[in-house]
Structure 1
């Protein structure tokens, strides 16, 4: 037969151990959260409208927050910026004064640059031909000068 002391210890081992509560350990009460002020609508980014703003404003009067400039206005702003830069201003301050961003300035500058990729090759070929012509003219002149000097010195 099993020992009664062993049986008692087996029974207590299978029962869950009860937590011992001491007066020193206190349970923390959850902190009360401060009431937030009125919830704000999310900030607009890149001129996009939220759904509530679209409902408030009629579709005809909806503004995107972006100004679209004509080619003439773009050229004027680019000229203004380049004039400011040549006057000693930084690019950052010049574009700020013109009322556009640096990225916009670079995009306008790139778009305004002449797209002459094919012309570059033609120009290079023309320059090479002119260079060849000038070299032959110089060589002919040097031959004449050399022949004249030899004749004067009597080396021929």
Structure 2
């Protein structure tokens, strides 16, 4: 829709629309909407979306870890612990629809993700942190954040092995 005035989204959803995508259309918003409603037919995501480098900036991560192998292990273990706890907290906050709590969790998760080089997770948490006050789509939030958390956890765990 080109209509993007306050309350427009709610009116559209109340009238029976499935969702709301305002103009100007952003490619990432459209992609997320397509994934939400039609997925990719059970196929893998296109290469540009599933490439590890789209999710993990190794240069940024290496800057944080340095050259000390013992520190790297401690650092990566701590990141795994923080991401795992964040997943539990996100799910809890969404179940309770507790926006204030979710905003705190998203803020902390954004910091952890940024420090760990998980650029896509940091981006998603920042987006949701900004949207949390405006009656968010909790199901979509959970899907997007948990998907990125799962991807981030796998990438970080793969670095330890």
Q: Name the TM-score, length of structure 2 as normaliser.
A: 0.24
Q: Name the TM-score, length of structure 1 as normaliser.
A: 0.24
**Structure ranking higher in helix proportion:** 2
Q: Greater relative contact order (Cα 8 A, min sep 6): structure 1 or 2?
A: 2
